[in-house]
Structure 1
Amino acid sequence: MIIRRTVLAVAVSAAVLSLAACSSSGGTPTATDSAGVVAPAEAAAGPKSAEDVTKTLGAKIPTVKLFKAYTAEDDPNQLLGRPNGYSSKTAFSDSRIKADDVEFAKEDAVERGGSVEVFAGAKARMDFIQSVAKGMPAVGEYDYVKGAVLVRVSRFLTPDQAKEYQVALAG
């Protein structure tokens, strides 16, 4: 009985240490698209705000325009600043998306361009979003992660256009 408890305690400790190592920013961040393709990315100097990331994307992709930086009061997902939620979130538009494709979408919908979310659970959030959308192509999107940053990109962009976000985020 004592041996089983000791083995269990060691196994739990090893699992906790593994999870801690996986979540540290010391590893190599990755960018992953909705097809599950993973590419190495530069190491993050630390999490930036979603607004900073969106401005950087806009400097690299001229069709991107910051639409909204959310607050805890107006975050549509009610995750901003909450336990296990993100620390910042923005919505952006991309002028390459046809107005007819998004005529019924809210002004700040990912379909109109995208969104940036910053938090420790960025990869888990991307995995959750992709699992929900897996059987529903109408709600699919391109998702890219670098460290604590998740960039969600409209499905109305072509794969080559969406790849620009992956490249911009990695750089």
Structure 2
Amino acid sequence: MSRRVLAAVAAALLGAVLTGCTVGNDADLTSSGEIKGAGYIDPAWSDARKIVQMFHNGGAPVELAKEYDEGDDPEDLLGEPGGYESKAAFRDSRVPEHDDPIAAGGVVEVFELDTEARDRIDDLEARLASGELPHEYHFLHGRVVIRVSGSLDEYSAIELETNLGD
């Protein structure tokens, strides 16, 4: 199954869960059902650490491995123009121990703008196609990029993503 098809399937599965988590053109419902005007971002989707906790709360076998700051981000994108504003790695108990945070489970990156997150996905996909990156899965939700270990099969990667609890 192609990555684009996989991403489309994942997006369809998550539609109900993610409705209202990011901003629309006029007004959206928040995850608690309140109506907020354009420009509102649900706080749960503004912090990578909270998104990892949502995976865990939803039943995924993951734990927070590391919350990055500008001083220890290995890609030096945290806090940079066009870079993410929040990044957290998670450990998935279904994959072997590994020093690389993505190989050990995955990483959540939260950007200021949807377009920056889309640019990040495009860059990751190009690096993956060129062989620069090892096998990993990429998911995009508004301004959130989720990178999941390629040690998981496609179904498990999608299942992880759908385990977003409250």
Q: RMSD in angstroms over aligned alpha carbons?
A: 2.3
Structure 1 residue aligned with 2:118? 123
Secondary structure class of the residue paired with 1:36: helix
CA contact (8 A) 1:34 1:130 kept: no
User: Structure 1 residue aligned with 2:158, among 128, 144, 163?
Assistant: 163
Secondary structure class of the residue paired with 1:165: helix
* Aligned residue type for 1:109: P
Structure exhibiting the larger radius of gyration computed from Cα positions: 1
User: Structure 2 residue aligned with 1:72, among 70, 73, 93?
Assistant: 70
CA contact (8 A) 1:67 1:93 kept: yes
Question: Please, what TM-score do these two structures have when normalized by structure 2?
Answer: 0.72
Residue 96 of structure 1 and its aligned partner are, at CA, apart by: 0.4
Structure 1 residue aligned with 2:4? 36
* Aligned residue type for 1:154: S
Structure 2 residue aligned with 1:109? 101
Q: Does 1:57 align with 2:55?
A: yes
How far apart, CA to CA, are the structure 2 residues paired with 1:97 and 1:110?
A: 10
CA contact (8 A) 1:92 1:115 kept: yes
Q: Does 1:144 align with 2:121?
A: no
* Aligned residue type for 1:134: A
Richer in helix (by share): 1
Compared CA separation, residues 34 and 123, structure 1 to 2 (3 A): farther
CA deviation digits over 1:11-59, x for unaligned, max 9? xxxxxxxxxxxxxxxxxxxxxx961121343242424200111110111
CA deviation digits over 1:63-107, x for unaligned, max 9? 1010000001111111111111101000111000024xx4xxx2x
Secondary structure class of the residue paired with 2:56: helix
Aligned pair count reads 133
Residue 170 of structure 1 and its aligned partner are, at CA, apart by: 9.9
Structure 2 residue aligned with 1:90? 88
Compared CA separation, residues 61 and 128, structure 1 to 2 (3 A): farther
CA contact (8 A) 1:117 1:151 kept: yes
In structure 1, runs of 5+ residues without a counterpart are: 1-32
Question: Please, what TM-score do these two structures have when normalized by structure 1?
Answer: 0.70
How far apart, CA to CA, are the structure 1 residues paired with 2:109 and 2:2?
A: 16
